[in-house]
Amino acid sequence: MTAEPLTRSELFVQLRKELFGEERSTFSKTHIFVILGASGDLAKKKIYPTLWWLFRDGLLPDNTYFVGFARSNLTVQNIKAECLPYMKVSDGDHECLSAFFSKNSYLRGRYDDGPSFDQLGTHMSSLPGGTDANRLFYLALPPTVYQHVSTNIRAHCMSSRGWNRVIVEKPFGRDLQSSQELSAHLGSLFTEDHIYRIDHYLGKEMVQNLMVLRFGNRIFGPIWNRNSVASVVLTFKEPFGTQGRGGYFDDFGIIRDVMQNHLLQMLCLVAMEKPASTSPDDVRDEKVKVLKCVAPVSLSDVVLGQYVADPQGEGDSRLGYLDDPTVPKGSCTPTFATAVVYVQNERWDGVPFILRCGKALNERKAEVRLQFTDVPGDIFGERCQRNELVVRVQPDEAIYLKMMTKRPGVYFSPEETELDLTYRSRYKNVKLPDAYERLILDVFCGNQMHFVRSDELREAWRIFTPLLHQIEREKTQPIPYIYGSRGPTEADDLTRRVGFRYEGKYKWVKPNTT
């Protein structure tokens, strides 16, 4: 007999109890959430909508106020009008929405100006319970102003009677040196428990599920190692190009934008040893141990690509990366990269971890794929493909195991199929929260498990900085690939060379959820 699913309100009551638990009195204090960069795209499209969803669902502490701060001459009404298209407001939500914006305020100021932050501090203290409030500062800003803003927060805006937490958005520097300088600056102002370096991929349902999948199931433990795993592929694909943001993207490139953070974080969760507990530092200790076992990436183990126009395409696909007017002429910035790294420890020695990411590819997809070794003693005449365990992060969250079974009917021949857990069909009544919802809620709760620690960041940059410097110093030319393709064929050659076997005959089909 299957238990009836909890209603939405029951789920939220249960979650609040789980989150706030015996510390409910802590959450009765006033909390002030400050959005620095309130006029920017990130605030408009992600942060304000996320705070609204958490407020609407009753997941924030009761006395929470929201303060926007930016250089623009705005009002709360301006912010509301800008954010509404992204807030998913239903017909019955308008009263609640009015209550949300009644708790909002906005101040105009300069990021390098002490008196502006003095005014911000005074404003926070004037809010109900503001002098004793817990304060959260979200830096939705370009890294160029982090130093001024963090210094001014420390000097003018810290609460002396509550806790203070600072959320920092990536990119956390451009290379090892700039990252170390940023970490040293933040470390001179705040302790590590104040700092929440946010990588939104760590808030995604299936990324968080990797730990439960690995350490909550007996069946995976004995095969999760070099004896059974032939290769691990971590993929991030987008079906669109830079779409007019080429000037920003060209400063960073696909390796800094995706590989050094999102894909490396997923690699850590796949490769790490079982932590002593689920406490944030126990988990992050194990992730750092993995990174310390990875040597800096060599250019010989990398394929770089840059998309060009599809002459047969339509719309954006008729424009290559260099056709974007915001991209410098002759730019060598890669929009695609495949890199092979090795975790040189007892569990994984010799197993290639293949990191693939790119823009303007044939589909939108992010996934983790473990390909297992061949079955020894083949009795089926090489008609069996390798087993694969796939964790699909987006879209259509799923876990499926590709396996061989007998073809139904009178035949006695093997056929490839899957054991499939597709979330949309299995959990029809469950709303999966947005990654930012989870992570911002974690900041309120003081849980740093899904945030990047300074030593973790240092090791990640150590792995990629020599490659990035070599590419930029030598102006390495990326291989052209057509908009909407799978990327350069040379990337497939590299993955084959290190042992990944791509059959190309089988495709996972999303189950019918109706």
Q: What CATH number has the domain bearing residue 131?
A: 3.40.50.720
Peptide bond into 171 cis (omega under 30): yes
The per-residue pLDDT of the chain, averaged, comes to: 86
Across-strand partners of 331?
none
State how far Cα 213 lies from the chain centre: 19
256-277 pLDDT, tens digit per residue, is 989 998 999 999 999 999 999 9
Q: What CATH number has the domain bearing residue 476?
A: 3.30.360.10
Which of 123, 200, 262, 450 is an active site residue? 262
Q: Identify the domain containing residue 85 by its residue range.
A: 8-169
Helix, coil or strand: residue 143: helix
Residues with Cβ within 8 Å of 507's Cβ and at least 6 positions away in sequence, in order, are none
In a domain, 507, yes or no: no
Average pLDDT in the 454-475 region? 94
Helix axes 176-189, 146-156, angle to 10 degrees: 10
C-alpha distances in Å from residue 360, one per residue of 171, 241, 259, 310, 326: 22, 5, 16, 10, 17
232-254 pLDDT, tens digit per residue, is 999 999 999 987 777 788 888 99
Are 339 and 487 members of one domain?
yes
Distance CA 120, CA 493 (A): 56
pTM confidence score: 0.87
Residues in the chain: 514
Are 123 and 231 members of one domain?
no
User: What DSSP element (H or E) covers 481?
Assistant: strand 479-482
Helix, coil or strand: residue 415: strand
Q: Report the 3 state secondary structure along 123-141.
A: HHHHCCCHHHCEEEEEECC
In a domain, 471, yes or no: yes
Are 218 and 367 members of one domain?
yes
Are 222 and 138 members of one domain?
no
In a domain, 78, yes or no: yes
Lowest-confidence segment of 188-202, 334-348, 399-413 by average pLDDT: 399-413
Residue-level pLDDT at 285: 93
Pick the closest to residue 135 from 194, 80, 187, 191 (CA basis).
194
Pick the closest to residue 268 from 231, 234, 221, 302 (CA basis).
234
Q: How confident is the model at residue 16 (pLDDT cuts 50, 70, 90)?
A: low
User: Do 265 and 208 touch, CB atoms closer than 8 A?
Assistant: no
Distance CA 252, CA 142 (A): 13
Q: Above 70 in pLDDT, residue 12?
A: no
| Token pair for 274 | 């079982």
Are 157 and 229 members of one domain?
no
Annotated catalytic residue 262 = yes
| Token pair for 311 | 């002459």
In a domain, 290, yes or no: yes
